């Protein structure tokens, strides 16, 4: 699954001032990323504000990104939730002909036991006509998919090819890297930890920050994949403060403030999220100047 090595980005959903989707900005952002080294694009993940996007909007977003990409990089589509039957029905009813893999989040809010998480993904795997990337993000789901459950799924289902691990738990990452099947990918969902994970054997990242600074971010990841730790960490250190800033209030308000400062999109988000504060926007602008200098 070399197509999912390197830098994937969890693309935002840009909004106009009236909170309708800005498809022109979305197209421009996709092109900006591809032209600057991004390896693949994730559509309607958490950073894309998937929980406040309608089904019709999600379809339109997918069409826009598919057209903009034009086969240049692989596409991953977010389809997940805590209602297993509903997730399975969405997979069944979605045109996946232009999609390379699904990204499916571990069930949130319901706080299932590990067996419930396993059975949820078993149902998804059996329905999906394409590959599946698991997504573990305890900070949002209120439950952790343990390394044992992830590895059980990896061993039991051929089309479950990877996990986007965003537990921010280095020990859990290392257990996955140590015990995974050879062809199963550990993809970091933690921008602050990704370089260390890549150097330990991870396949890369599905990044938030990477979509705003793709040239430098992909260079860092590629150097890490080549084992060039010293050179990679020089970039990591340069991006550390920005990584902290974009998550200091909420995601995606932080990254949208960066993209606004770069004149790539507006900073608008949909309730219950609110835009980044003026203080954060100013700090982001100052940090961008440091990065670009």
Model pLDDT for residues 73-94, shown as the tens digit of each residue: 999 999 999 999 999 999 999 9
Cα gap 253→15, rounded to integer Å = 12
Domain of residue 96: give its range. 2-226
Mean pLDDT over residues 133-143, rounded? Answer: 97
- 21-34: per-residue pLDDT in tens? 999 999 999 999 99
Catalytic residue among 40, 118, 135, 173: 135
In a domain, 242, yes or no: no
Candidates 184, 99, 35; CA nearest to 90 is: 99
Cα gap 133→89, rounded to integer Å = 18
For residue 19, what pLDDT band results from cuts at 50, 70 and 90?
very high
In a domain, 232, yes or no: no
Q: Does the active-site annotation cover 233?
A: no
For residue 282, what pLDDT band results from cuts at 50, 70 and 90?
very high
- 160-185: per-residue pLDDT in tens? 999 999 999 999 999 999 999 999 99
40 forms beta bridges with: 8
pLDDT at 1 over 80: no
Mean pLDDT over residues 186-208, rounded? Answer: 98
In a domain, 113, yes or no: yes
In a domain, 275, yes or no: no
Mean pLDDT over residues 23-51, rounded? Answer: 98
Mean pLDDT over residues 55-71, rounded? Answer: 98
What pLDDT, on the 0 to 100 scale, is given for residue 23?
98
CATH assignment at residue 197: 3.20.20.70
In a domain, 199, yes or no: yes
Catalytic residue among 164, 180, 256, 281: 164
Cα gap 75→65, rounded to integer Å = 9
Count of domains forming the chain: 1
SS (H, E, C) the chain: CHHHCEEEEECCCCECCCCCECHHHHHHHHHHHHHCCCCEEEECCHHHCHHHCCHHHHHHHHHHHHHHHCCCCCEEEECCCCCHHHHHHHHHHCCCCCCCEEEEECCCCCCCCHHHHHHHHHHHHHHCCCEEEEEECHHHHCCCCCHHHHHHHHHHCCCEEEEEECCCCHHHHHHHHHHCCCCCEEEECCCCCHHHHHHCCCCEEEECHHHCCHHHHHHHHHHHHCCCHHHHHHHHHHHHHHHHHHCCCCCCHHHHHHHHHCCCCCCCCCCCCCCCCHHHHHHHHHHHHHHHC
In a domain, 56, yes or no: yes
In a domain, 68, yes or no: yes
Mean pLDDT over residues 121-140, rounded? Answer: 98
**Mean of pLDDT over the chain:** 97
Q: Does the active-site annotation cover 108?
A: no
- 227-255: per-residue pLDDT in tens? 999 999 999 999 999 999 999 999 999 99
What pLDDT, on the 0 to 100 scale, is given for residue 293?
85
In a domain, 46, yes or no: yes
């Amino acid at each position: 699954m070399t197509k999912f090595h390197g830098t994937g980005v969890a693309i935002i959903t840009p909004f106009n001032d009236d909170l309708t989707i800005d498809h022109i900005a979305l197209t421009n952002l996709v092109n900006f990323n591809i032209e600057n080294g991004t390896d693949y694009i994730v559509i309607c993940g958490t950073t894309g504000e998937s929980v406040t996007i309608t089904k019709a909007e999600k379809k339109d977003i997918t069409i826009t990104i598919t057209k903009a990409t034009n086969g240049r990089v692989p596409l991953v589509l977010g389809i997940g939730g805590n209602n297993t039957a509903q997730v399975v029905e969405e997979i069944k009813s979605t045109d996946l002909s232009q999609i390379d893999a699904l990204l499916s989040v571990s069930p949130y809010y319901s706080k299932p036991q590990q067996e419930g998480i396993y059975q949820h993904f078993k149902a998804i795997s059996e329905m999906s006509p394409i590959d599946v990337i698991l997504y573990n993000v305890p900070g949002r789901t209120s439950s952790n998919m343990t390394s044992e459950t992830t590895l059980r799924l990896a061993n039991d289902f051929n089309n479950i090819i990877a996990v986007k691990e965003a537990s921010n738990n280095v020990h859990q990452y290392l257990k996955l890297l140590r015990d995974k099947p050879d062809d199963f990918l550990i993809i970091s969902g933690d921008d602050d930890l990704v370089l260390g994970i890549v150097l330990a054997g991870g396949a890369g990242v599905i990044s938030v920050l990477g979509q705003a600074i793709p040239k430098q971010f992909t260079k860092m990841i590629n150097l890490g994949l080549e084992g060039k730790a010293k050179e990679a960490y020089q970039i990591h250190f340069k991006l550390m403060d920005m990584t902290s800033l974009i998550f200091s209030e909420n995601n995606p308000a932080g990254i949208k403030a960066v993209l606004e400062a770069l004149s790539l999109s507006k900073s608008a988000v949909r309730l219950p999220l609110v835009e980044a504060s003026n203080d954060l926007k100013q700090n982001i602008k100052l940090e961008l100047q440091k990065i670009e200098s």
